[in-house]
A and B are shown apart, each in its own frame.
Chain A
């Protein structure tokens, strides 16, 4: 079933304008692959694009649809709130709930204990489960944020510089794990990064965002996911 989704693309269509402080994010975007990377310098609007997809930019105008659901249509007043879109948003600074232990963070969306344990193991976090976020390194926090999003059974993964605090070997392992998850559950991924290497690890299709404008980048495109 993974291949069906991959063949049909993610059926994501995004045509939004979001006014920002300095620039305006203005994109009309219909990616072809399931796993897409958007690269670009900081301040180009990458994070805002993810937030608009997640339903966290109430000022966004235009049209967003995914898999037959209309998430935003400002002409007809349609706006699906974030909690009904069920996207797995992993913000750059992790944003772990500081008053909850790792275990509680991972189980936040309602996952059972065995799932939490399994996820912790695959992210190399098993020994840390009863700690509070304040006692973790930046890389550990990113992995918890990823696990928390995956355990919520998201319909799409939105990853904002998800590996920035991980060292190279760990990056590859975690990226492989995310790919496996995405393949098994047919979950599309939109990753934004200023790091070309991160984009290569996860995406089949690459776009470049500069000053709020998105353009296709033909540097590396493959329709087949890594085995």
Chain B
């Protein structure tokens, strides 16, 4: 099993096929951000070879005995490039012009992901970091960053040359070339815990050999020799043990704001939909019900992607909203919307259930007393459904608190803007430091969720008691 940086996702399987062809043992891969893989090696992930996109993470592992020191070697290099959406007018031509004001949004990978750290270091070395920082949107991985540029959600982004080549919806504006810039370099090592040391050694030899080098080069990677020896510090980015500059209270506050707004924004639609599904028969009812319930079973990341497709700036609806001053992607509104859509099925289910159990003859009595349908709904149906509506709101609130997947895709992971508790914890897990903040957020998250569930329990009991009043005589 080879744990490798996600930017190698396309090239390593090709290399592995060549290795297979020469009689090597078949290899399996697990690709993810180096910053997530390295801690997994320590925690005992089944790994034989580890390929890092960042020397600092390799050194971090070495110090903790996760890899064999002597086996560490350079495998390939890469280059940071600035990409813009294909067809963008007047792309910047050199690193110095990134500070230009018309580049309103610049996408970088997460701050602990190597590509994100390299990008920051590159911007710092041209003195542009402080002016660019407020415009930065942080994705998780390089691929996520690339997707945002490809959809023109960001005006430009810094990614690896190898990734930029594979995506035709972006074009390369310039490369960060020269001594002044960090040189992204991949190094490989044998995991200390491997049971197949000889095979691992042989595969690593093959990876750093000439045959693999040709394949790397064909995919846009640079030769291993350019990067210099592994022991040299290549990344002047903030050390791994520095806190990732994350305010836990801001995350808690944001989570509460997002969850509350989602509940309020969804109240009227959820009541209307719950009532419609409980009380009316119409053509296509099961289809409507299916669409409403879909976010319950569709992976949230997929929901986020669909929302981005419908509400992104490159779509008709998203363009219209942006023109009205209501941009969705990377905004608090986007995070709220993602949380609402994912929590909406629970909201509607609870309300539908209460409308199912409220005796419709209460409404009929009200009609015979001369009160027409609309005022009967307001005076009888709504108050009787209140416990169920409140229970649905609490469930939707709890789900919104926990929302991660759709939010990170639609709204990104932006400090003070869209980084809720779940996203903050995720960011903190990529950094070996910041344990204190992580625990604080974990406790806040658990406490908030339990309080919400307690509230739900209480409301359910209230509802049951009310129903018994009527039926229990």
Residues of A within 8 A of B (CB): 54-56, 81-89, 91, 93, 95, 97-99, 108-110, 132-134, 138, 141, 148-149, 152
Contact = CB atoms under 8 A, between A and B. Distances in A.
B362 interface: yes
Contacts of B470: 98, 133-134
Contact of B369 (A93, A99, A149): A149
B299 interface: no
B469 A83 contact: no
A82 B469 contact: no
Contacts of A85: 368
B473 interface: yes
B64 interface: no
B469 A133 contact: yes
Given A91-B361, A99-B383, A108 B369 contact: yes
Contacts of A54: 364, 368
Given A81-B372, A91-B361, A98 B367 contact: no
Interface residues of B, number: 21
B369 A109 contact: yes
Contact of B364 (A56, A98, A132, A133): A56
Given A82-B364, A95-B362, A141-B473, A152 B370 contact: yes
A87 B365 contact: no
B246 interface: no
Contacts, number: 68
Contacts of B379: 108
Q: Which of B359, B366, B473 is most buried by chain A, counting CB atoms within 10 A of its CB?
A: B473
Nearest to B466: A98
Given A95-B361, A97-B380, A98-B384, A89 B368 contact: yes
Given A134-B470, A149-B369, 8 more contacts: A82-B368, A85-B368, A95-B365, A98-B470, A99-B383, A99-B384, A134-B469, A152-B369
B385 to A, nearest CB: 10
16 contacts: A82-B367, A83-B370, A83-B373, A84-B370, A86-B368, A86-B370, A91-B361, A93-B473, A95-B361, A99-B466, A108-B366, A108-B369, A109-B371, A134-B470, A141-B473, A152-B370
User: What are the 6 closest A-B residue pairs judged by CB atoms, nearest first?
Assistant: A134-B469, A82-B367, A89-B368, A109-B369, A83-B372, A152-B369
Contacts of A56: 364, 367-368
A82 to B, nearest CB: 4
Interface in B331-374: 359, 361-362, 364-373
A109 B379 CA distance: 11
A42 B366 CA distance: 25
